[in-house]
Amino acid sequence: MNDASAVFLRARPELEQWRLRQNRNPPERPAPGSELAEDDAEFPLYPISEIVRFNLISAGEHLRLIQDGLARGNLYSVSQHSTVRGALVGAVQAIWITACDEPAARRRRGHRLIAENHRQLLNYHRNMSGWADDLGLDTDRRHALDDHLAWIQSRLDELRAVQPDLSKVTTTAVIAEVTPVAFPARPALQAEMRLAWNTLSSDAHMLLWGATMRAEFSAPPSDTGLSVGVTGTDPAHLANWFALAMHLLRTGWSLYDR
């Protein structure tokens, strides 16, 4: 077994443990009197603990999706890298909220992420309303859509009454704040984490440069001068990012449980 294969193999027990945990019914809730329970009480209509738990679950599912492909012998050139990027997003957002020891700062971060969810949902329904003719919505469905728009806006207004600072959350800024928490006093790993986000974003946005950095190129033929690059043959490229995402997800669950 090579080192890359060992990375994926070692992750299986933890990923399975988190899978079983997410399937608990009823879903787990913070212990009464815990910090997260007190955070939730600030705006019980959308608990902060639930947005944290969702991000952790999402990150784990992305990593299990990669494992499922590898188990079938599929090592892809791009898609598994964009998938591991999704895992990074979920893990770092969970850490970003739970790593705060100061309750007011932790709640502000949680409420900002919840507000971002509501704003995106509002935009979706506004777009649907604007395309009502194209979508063939009848009068009843248009009225229902208007009612739903008003409800989403009211929920956002209620949240703003609790937390005035609902400024936009950007993943790049979140990663910058999380790196010292994930890798304290380890500047090289902090830099690697920022580079991971930069590189994997090229895969998510279907830009070629990230894949070319992983490719092995042959000598260019004389008639075109353009060499051919081959990717998807070396699991080590994926294993490095996968191990990073596992570390972040492990940290996220640990902070959630704390």
Element housing 229 (H / E): strand 229-230
> Domain range holding 11?
3-111+168-216+226-257
pLDDT at 156 over 80: yes
Q: Tell me, yes or no, whether 16 lies in a domain.
A: yes
* Tokens at 131, concatenated: 């395309």
Structure tokens at 116: 């971002």
Q: What's the total number of domains in the chain?
A: 1
178 lies in a domain?
A: yes
**Amino acid 211: pLDDT:** 87
Cα dihedral 65, 69, 70, 71, rounded to 10, equals 100
Does pLDDT of 1 surpass 60? Answer: no
pLDDT tens readout for residues 91-109: 999 999 999 999 999 999 9
For position 252, what pLDDT does the model report? 96
Predicted TM-score of the model (pTM)? 0.92
User: Quick check: is 159 in a domain?
Assistant: no
Residue 116 belongs to a domain: no
